Structure formats: structure tokens, C-alpha cells
Structure 1
Amino acid sequence: MTAPEPLPAPAPASTSVPAVLYPLQPDHPELVAPFAELVARTDARRLWLCQSFRSEPHQVLAYLAGLGHTVPVGTAVTLLPLRHPYEAALQARSLALLTGRPVVAGYGIGTPEFAHGLTPQPYRSPRTAVGEYVTSVRALLDGESVAHDGPYHRLHAALPPVGPHAPVEVGAGVLRPGMAHTAGATADVAITWMTPPDYLRDTLVPRLAAGAAEAGRATRPRVATAVHVAVRRPGRDPRRLAQAAAGTHLCAPHYADMLRRAGVDVDGPDPATQLLRADVVVTGTPDEIAATLAGYRAAGVDEILLNPTAVLLTEGVHAAVTDLEEIVTACRSSGRSAAGSTGRSAAPASGRVRSVL
């Protein structure tokens, strides 16, 4: 089956302009609308949602598109035990059709306990499960008829053809070197959370490149990294914000292990301070935050997801959106300044977008 050409992609955004993440599980899509409005108003890179067990993220994004909030979107990440790869590809393509804007469809395993609760037996190899899943979704989106009989899914089908639509990239959640190698071989985007810039530069990005090279791919996947941010304001305690932002994840074994590998002391008496020192949680003025985020880009990150969890939980939507808008503005300004100082335009976003069905 031949895949029709996708719609022409919009002009790429500067890599200095971050994306926006809505990090909670909304009871109703309208709770996310202020963040979609922010993306449209500021021309931020994309609106990302994480897995939600209240309002399902694909349906939230479709609802927002129906309200007129047609912005680039992404999922970081939805959990692959919830849906077959065929359904995953159909949902991702549907978002591209409904929004008319580029989509990043990201997938991950979740915790072993969650996966085992939905599958006949535990994933003996999460890397194999993710690699096969991402490969099948990508092939379906490319218009291929897939014949796959593996340990984690069976698929003998193709998506029916549709007209032109915006491009879809397929992402994989990555925290540790093994999954980075797998994502390098299979994914369009590697999606990371709370990964310090030094760890990205020295560990994950090289493993992504190695996986891509071993698979005969010309380039490694793009890297999209969610970073906790909060603007310094009177009455805000950075340590308290760091704890609010990351406390839940510190209790998750896979996140704690990743941070230990990155040299962050999450087991000591003051993990919040360690997170701040490692730039896992970034605070300061908007310009200071923009300067720190430039370090993430220097480490190999192609798309930064601004994660306002701390302010959203402690002060609410208005305060979180205000922070995000100021940070996006500062990042854009710093990107223009950097481009001006070198006499050239800011680096474009990666053009590594596959043709899709």
C-alpha cells in the first residue's frame, strides 16, 4: 500500500523555543485549555500530555482541537499495555487528521506492576516489548502492511489509506542506557523525564546514537526532555518546589535508579537540594532558567518540555501559565541573541520527520 504524501509541515521552530507540558491527569479537557491557549499565543513548540487515567489524553487533545485549539501536540508517554499497536497508530493518525498539526506519539511500559496487571504475563524484556511496539506503529503509519508475530503482540494488518495529513513521529520513553539503545534503533523521538543534562550528554545521547548506528539509521532519534521549572518569586521556596515537583517520582524505582546513575543523591537527607544542583528542577528568573535550559540543548536535547508541576500543584493554573509564558519568552529572546551573536539564524528543529499514512 502506498502512503499519500503528508501535508506540508509548518516552518520549523527554533530549538530554543520550548514546548509546554500539562503534567497532571485532568478530570475534564477544559482544564488543559489554558495551556493550549498558551501554546497558540506564544508559538511554543508543542502541547504535551502525559498518561491520564481520568480523561484519556488522545480524547483530551481531540476535544481541544474541536474547540479550535489546533496546535502541535504530543504524548509523553502513553502506556503501551493499554492498547494494541494498531489502535495506537490509529489514535495517533486521528490526532494528525483532527488537528492538522504535527503529532509526537510517545509510548512506554510504565511500572512492572502496572504492566503485569493488564497482561497475561510480565514483560520479560521491556526493551523488546517497546522496540517491537514502536516498530509496528511506525510501519502502520508509513502505510505498510505489517506481519508480526512476537512475544508481546501479534499484528497482521494495515491501516486503511486516508488523505494528506500532518506528520506523526513515534516516540519511546527513555530513562536508562538499555532503553536508549533500543529507542535509537526504532524510534523517531526519545522522550525523557528528569534526566540531568550531564547524564543526557554522557550516557543517553551516545547510547541513542549507538543504537541508531547498529540499526543502519542515518541519524539518532530526536531527544525530547521534560524539565521541571519554576520562576523565582517572593514567598517561593525552591526546595519545597523541588519536592512538590519530583517527590512522587523519587519513590518510583526506575526513576530513582536513573538519578543514582546520573550521580544525584536521592537517598540522602536532602534530595530536593540535590535535584536543584543537578538542574533536574530549574528555578530562577526567566532569563536564568533560559540559560540553564540552553545547557540541556548543548547536551543534545532537541525539544524541551517545560514541566510546571510544582507551581501547578502549589499555586494553581494561572500561576503555572504565567511562569510558562515568561520562560517561553525568555527562551525565544535568548535564542535570538545567540543567533545574532553568531551572525546566523537560530538552529532549526530537526527535520527528521517520516512520511506518514
Structure 2
Amino acid sequence: MVDLGVIFRPQLPLERLRAMARAADEAGLAELWLWEDCFFDGGIATAAAALAWTGRLRVGVGVLPLPLRAVTLTAMEAASLHRLFPDRFILGGGHGVQEWMGQAGVRVDSPLTLLREYLTALRALLRGETVSTTGRYVRLTDVALERPPATPLPVLTAATGPRTLRLAGEVADGTVLTAATRPDTVRRARALIGEAGRTDPHRVVVYLHAAAGPDATARMRAELDRWREPMLPEYAREVTASTVAEAVANLAEAGADSVVLQPTADETDPAGFARWAAEEVRPLVS
């Protein structure tokens, strides 16, 4: 069965993260995802807090803008969280929104080259290997973690276009797809990822727009207008637990391993949203 999760959006007050994480954990959701959008809250710090506040919930960062961090530091931080909270931290990294990377002074000429070099080195470090490389953007000399993960830590990446999806199939262990993704897009993504010819599992995580409450349909229309996206077919009449569950099932059938519900930016009760996802949506997902 598909794993169901929720997103704590960076627009929400950070002080509400604890309540949402605990609600998701207690209600039995599989995952909580955080965004490291510039220039909000740090993904590693918030993931560590959410992991410490919960007991079984997996916590993912989708995704870290990799140009902001040296690959060695990312490997050290990820390995620490994986050892402290075994098999509960989900590491995601991407080349970042180029406008933001420019503001931060770390924009590169070839984001895909950076992503290839970075993810290749990162995964090797997390496997406990000693890494030396002289790439265009990643340069390491005999670097090895003193405390590498005791068990495998998969590395996911964000991807939308064909080139990035093919690269994800080559150098990542999973892919994160945005809430603009439709079932046919998941199928195309799976096909492009599969062109790498790898036989090991490749986890596909898909975000899904969702809203709860009596005004859910109106709020969803406003949210999609902000994203300049059309209304989801499942939501054509109204947004309810049933129609959200239908959308989850359709994405799962198309190849999503995990569907993560993305609340609207004006959500006032993130903890209640997590409980609604677990108690009202999840039982309806076939």
C-alpha cells in the first residue's frame, strides 16, 4: 500500500511544527516532509527537531538546495541523523531554485553537472567509501566519514524535466515530484528514471495538493490560482477526504510509492490537517 504523509510548509509558523509532527506520529501517518525554501528555516535543524519530538514517524527534507552546502557537510549531517534516528530520516537534495541560488551567491553555470557530481560523491560518502574527485564543482581528496551510516541511507533528488529525471535514475535512490504531478506524469517519470537500467529500488515521492474543512474547495481554488495550475480532475466538484483519497490512489496506481499531502498556504491548523489525513483520508485509499 502507498505510504501517506503530510508537508509542514515553510509559510507556517515554525512554532507549530512540534504539534504537527506529534499529531502525524500519534495518528499513524508514515511521513512528515519539510521544505528548505530560501530564506525560511534550515532543513537539517527542523528535521532533527521533528525526529526528536516523535517516535516512529519518518521525516524527510524535500529538498535541500545542495549548492548552499559543501558535500562533506551534508554527508556528516545526514549520517548523524541516520545514526541517531535509524531509518527515520529521508534525505532529499536538488540543485536549488536558480533565482535563489543567485541571491545567495552560489549559482552555477551547469546545475545538472553540479547535481551529478554532488549526488555521486554524497552517496559514496554515505556508503562509507573514501572519496577523491576533481569535478567541475565537487573536489574532494581522500575524504571519508568517521561515522558513516550503519545501514543504507537512500538519497533522493527533486526532478521535473526529462534530463533531470534521467539523471535521477542514474545517481539517486529516489525522486521527489511536485504537487503539479498527475498520474500520467508519474508514469512518464518512471519510464525516464528506468532508462538508467538500474535494478535496485527507486522510491518515487509525489506531493499532492489537499485541503480540509468546510471551505476546502474554495481554498483549493485560490491555492491553485496562486500556483497557476488547473483544478485536479478528482476535485472538479469538491475537495473532500473522499476526493483526496481518490487522487492518492490514482497516483499510487501510476507508480508513486509515497503520496504526501500538501496543505494550502493559509492552513490554520497543521496538526488538525495531519489528523484529518490519517483518520479520514487514509482509510479511504484503496
Name the structure 2 match of 1:31: 16
Distance 1:111 1:204 in 2: 20
Residues 1:192 and 1:31: Cα distance change in structure 2 (over 3 Å): same
Residue 33 of structure 2: aligned partner? 48
d(CA) in 1 for partners of 2:276, 2:13: 27
Does 2:244 align with 1:289? yes
Q: Deviations over 1:326-355 (max 9, x none)?
A: 2323454245xx4xxxxxxxxxxxxxxxxx
Equivalence for 2:260 = 305
1:125 to 2:110 alignment: yes
Percent pairwise identity: 25
Unmatched runs of 5 consecutive residues or more in structure 1: 1-13, 251-265, 339-357
How many matched pairs?
A: 284
Q: Do the aligned residues in 1 keep the contact of 2:234 with 2:244 (CA within 8 Å)?
A: no
How far apart in 2 are the matches of 1:129 and 1:64? 29
Residue 49 of structure 1 contacts residue 75 of structure 1 at CA under 8 Å; is this kept in 2?
yes
> The residue matched to 2:81 in structure 1 has which SS?
helix
Deviations 1:160-193 (A, max 9, x none): 13574x6422011111111100001111110111
1:229 aligns with 2:210: yes
**2:262 is aligned with 1:277:** no
Structure 2 unaligned blocks of 5 or more = none
Equivalence for 2:136:
151
The structural deviation recorded for 1:283 is: 5.7
Q: Provide the residue aligned with 2:159 in structure 1.
A: 174
| Counterpart in the other structure of 2:178 | 193
* Counterpart AA for 1:192: L
SS at match of 1:160: coil
CA distance in 2, matches of 1:83, 1:230: 34
Structure 1 Cα separation of the partners of residues 225 and 85 of structure 2: 32
- CA displacement, residues 284-335 of structure 1 (integer Å, 9 cap, x when unaligned): 2212211221000111111111111x1xx43412xx4323322323454245
Could you tell me which residue of structure 2 aligns to residue 324 of structure 1?
A: 274
In structure 2, relative to structure 1, the CA distance for the partners of 1:282 and 1:297 (3 Å cut) is farther
Q: For 1:151 and 1:125, how far apart are their aligned partners in 2?
A: 9
Which residue does 2:58 correspond to in 1?
A: 72
Between the aligned partners of 1:205 and 1:331, the Cα distance in structure 2 is: 25
In the alignment, the residues of structure 2 paired with residue 127 and residue 282 of structure 1 have an alpha-carbon distance, to the nearest angstrom, of 40
RMSD (Å), alpha carbons: 2.7
1:140 aligns to what? 125
Farther-moved stretch of structure 1 (90-99 vs 133-142): 90-99
CA contact (8 A) 2:216 2:239 kept: no
Q: Distance in 2 between matches of 1:282 and 1:56?
A: 38
CA contact (8 A) 1:208 1:220 kept: no
Q: Measure how far apart 1:129 and its partner are.
A: 1.4
Q: Measure the CA separation in 1 of the matches of 2:53 and 2:183.
A: 41
Cα 1:297–1:65 change in 2 (3 A) is closer
Partner of 2:221: 242
Tell which structure's C-alpha radius of gyration is larger: 1
Question: Which secondary structure does the structure 1 equivalent of 2:129 belong to?
Answer: coil
Distance 2:8 2:237 in 1: 17
Which residue matches 1:254?
Answer: none
Partners of 2:149 and 2:112 in 1: how far apart? 34
Query: Residues 331 and 112 (structure 1 numbering): CA distance in 2 closer, same or farther, change over 3 Å?
Result: same
Deviation digits for residues 112-167 of structure 1, max 9, x if unmatched?
Answer: 222234456x4333222112211111110000011111112212211113574x64
Q: Deviations over 1:193-235 (max 9, x none)?
A: 123323423421211111x21xxx214621101111013x43x
Quick check: 2:66–2:94 contact (8 Å CA) kept in 1? yes
Q: Which amino acid aligns with 2:268?
A: G
What is the alpha-carbon distance in structure 2 between the residues aligned to residue 204 and residue 153 of structure 1? 27
Matched-pair contact (CA < 8 Å) for 1:20–1:35: no
* CA–CA separation in structure 2 for the residues paired with 1:63 and 1:118: 25
What is the TM-score when the length of structure 2 is the normalising length?
0.87
1:183 and 1:221 in contact (8 A); partners too: no
SS at match of 1:59: helix
Map 1:263-274 onto structure 2 (within 5 A): 266=228, 271=229, 274=230
Matches of 2:108 and 2:174, distance apart in 1: 22
Q: Distance in 1 between matches of 2:242 and 2:165?
A: 31
Q: Is the 8 A contact 1:282 1:292 kept in 2?
A: no
The residue type paired with residue 223 of structure 2 is: A
